[in-house]
Amino acid sequence: MAGHSVDLPLKGLLSSDPFLLSEGGNVSRHQLLSAAYRFSETLPDAPVVLNLYARRDVFLMVMLAVAMRGGKTVLPPNVAANTLTELTAELEASQTQTVQRFSEQEGPESGPTPESFLSADKSNWVDEAVLQPIWDRVLNSDIWLYTSGSTGQPKRVVKTWRQMALLAQQAIARFELNQPGYVVATVPSQHMFGLETTIFWPLFSKQSIWVGRPIFAEDIRAVLAAQAGPVLLASTPLHLKKLMPFDVDWPQLPLRVLSATAPLEQALAQQVSDTLHARVFEVFGSTETASIASRETLAGDAWTLYDDNFLLCEESLSVCEVNIAPLAESHPLHDQFELIPGQPNRFRLLGRRSDVVKVAGKRSSLAYLNQKLQAIDGVSDGLFWQAPNGERLQAFVVSDLNAHDIKQALAQDMDAVFLPRPIHFVEQIPRNELGKIQFQQLSELAKQNTMQKGTQSPNVRA
């Protein structure tokens, strides 16, 4: 494949050191590959599998097994019942193979469950001579991901195992993951950020991964405290913000927090750093590109591209694409950039091109407005929204504050033309597992609010 100068030998994955960690026991890379091989023998050729497993050990084992059979792993944009039904129907209409759905609730129609293969004793392990002939098949197998749908319909993105592994090498180098350490994550593995941090980075480095997905502060504390070395905690700004109010005795250990999916406010980054005794980093990227750059949030607002990547921009900087070195490919980006003079690998983000809103002849950024709204003390969550062809901005807010107090707080940071009219109070903002807004659900909520204008319900106060 053009541009791939990094070898991805199988031999490095035959370690017997603990890799997948859980309260019930640990699994090595060699044990994982053996389990995947044994499970793959129960699958048809070229299977199409919707992988919904939450546990990362079974998720990865099933992914490997599907790849060993030359199949496709499909990762949905979200786990809503309607989404899964529609996606399954779409796949069945376009694929020659029967689509299988594997999760904690759904498995093979007959035979042992995928989980059972991970607990097989060492006599069932397979050696390199068995795995080597199918290794290229694994690396050339497809993974189908979907964009979040936060700006419209989710879009399919196809990556091969080889591409994901090569992309991982850049992040492994940036974050020095070839030293022993541990990855803990609050994000699911089915989206690009989670797929990178919980699957491909650990698998192709020296990191071990906690197989669970701790959500609550005390659960995260317990998992962190159980690790015997440096930890990388992958999370999102929304989740980190929700952790901060809890009075938890966070352990003192070499901890790096890695955030993605939305900009991390400096004030929140400082709070996270002080509370968790951690250095705080962010990665920038997309489902199409995977992560391509990083920054240490409290060290400044500039981003540094991964080694050998570079930006290609029009003179106005309004349109840029990134050249991703390991893939020898360029991908268009949807953001506006400020390049740092004399430092071609560094830039500042100015927001998405689609993020600019115009009200009464004045312009602002939705990202900026949302940051100011979400920073108000007493606002748990919130966002600005402009209906198609709408003249004014509206806001959806999760808060016990009243509309007057929220507008008064916003007025300290923005022109009056951007103050939301109306403010809709809701029990929760429609987001996916990574905290990204679900555009279609938001549009439906706005229509519902318009129909209920002047009324009050348990779920919506306009």
Burial of 188 (0-12, 13-18, 19+ CB in 10 A): buried
Is the Cβ–Cβ distance between 168 and 196 less than 8 Å?
A: yes
Q: What one-character-per-residue DSSP string does 232-258 give? A: EEEE-HHHHHHHTTS------S-EEEE
β partners of residue 351: 336
CA-based nearest residue to 20, from 221, 287, 202:
202
Cα–Cα distance, 423 to 403 (Å, whole number): 6
Whole-structure pTM value: 0.84
At 128, give phi and psi (nearest 5°). -60, -35
**Number of domain units in the chain:** 2
Q: Could you tell me if residue 305 is inside a domain?
A: yes
Last residue of a domain, one of 349, 371, 394: 349
Whether residues 159 and 255 share a domain: the answer is yes
**Is residue 5 one of the residues assigned to a domain?**
no
321-378 pLDDT, tens digit per residue, is 999 999 999 999 988 888 899 998 999 987 776 677 888 777 788 888 998 999 899 9
User: Is the same domain home to 340 and 368?
Assistant: no
The more confidently predicted of residues 158 and 430 is 158
Is there a single domain that holds both residue 240 and residue 217? yes
User: For a pLDDT cut of 90, what percent of the chain falls above it?
Assistant: 67
Residue 457 has pLDDT above 60, yes or no: no
**Helix H or strand E segment including 18:** strand 18-21
Give the residue numbers spanning the domain of 180.
11-349
CATH code for the domain of 90: 3.40.50.12780
Distance CA 122, CA 26 (A): 13
The residue among 284, 289, 299 whose CA lies nearest residue 350 is 284
Q: Which of 212-226, 346-360, 399-413 has the lowest mean pLDDT?
A: 346-360
Residue 122 · residue 35 · CB < 8 Å: no
Tell me, yes or no, whether 251 and 193 share the same domain.
yes
The one-letter amino acid code at 114 reads P
The answer to whether residue 354 is domain-embedded is no
